[in-house]
Amino acid sequence: MGISALQSLELIERLHAYDSVEAPALAAPRLTWVGTSLGVAGVPLLIGEGELEEIIETPAVTTIPGTKAWVLGVAAFKGGLLPIFSGDVLFRKRPYVGRVRDYCMVIRRPGLYFGLTLSHIQRDLRFPIEERVMDHPVDPDFAEYTLGGFMYKGDFLAVLDINRVVADEELSNASAAKNSSIKGKSNE
């Protein structure tokens, strides 16, 4: 009596187990950090996933008198008003004269909804979490708002912590107080 089909399959399995190499072990899924590569005031930064509301072209703004210099104005956006802040003036704390910032990122936090101008936009990037560098020197103006970063093509991309930005008292008060007013306006 011949062998049954199941026996043949079992035999094939045994032979295969005996002759063939072992199947490669599946690598453990790596935890990756996902974010968007962009630039503020010429500093390449990474914004973590979920921290951005969206990126929009800088809308036409209406200046608001009595506000700080980094407040470019208020723009009509999606049926509402969106304050637009200058990333250059906000972080550098000095007037900005340069190329027009075409894009800005919209940040929405409880009690805060504003747009911050960007110097450049790249794309979404994905880094292994273990590659995060925490002790790399960062631009002094951004050092207190960053939390480590990743090396990408030889450049260090610092991770901008939006929570630290919005927690800053300077951002929480846009009124141009005497002791906090910054002389000069940007060309925006």
Where on the chain is the footprint of other proteins (CB under 8 A)?
36, 49-50, 52-57, 102-103, 121-124
In the complex, least distance from residue 65 CB atom to other proteins, rounded to whole angstroms: 31
| C-beta closer to other proteins: residue 137 or 154 | 154
| C-beta closer to other proteins: residue 121 or 147 | 121
Closest C-alpha among 136, 102, 96, 137 to residue 117: 102
Closest C-alpha among 163, 164, 168, 161 to residue 48: 161
In the complex, least distance from residue 144 CB atom to other proteins, rounded to whole angstroms: 26
| C-beta closer to other proteins: residue 125 or 176 | 125
In the complex, least distance from residue 90 CB atom to other proteins, rounded to whole angstroms: 21
In the complex, least distance from residue 124 CB atom to other proteins, rounded to whole angstroms: 5
| C-beta closer to other proteins: residue 142 or 152 | 152
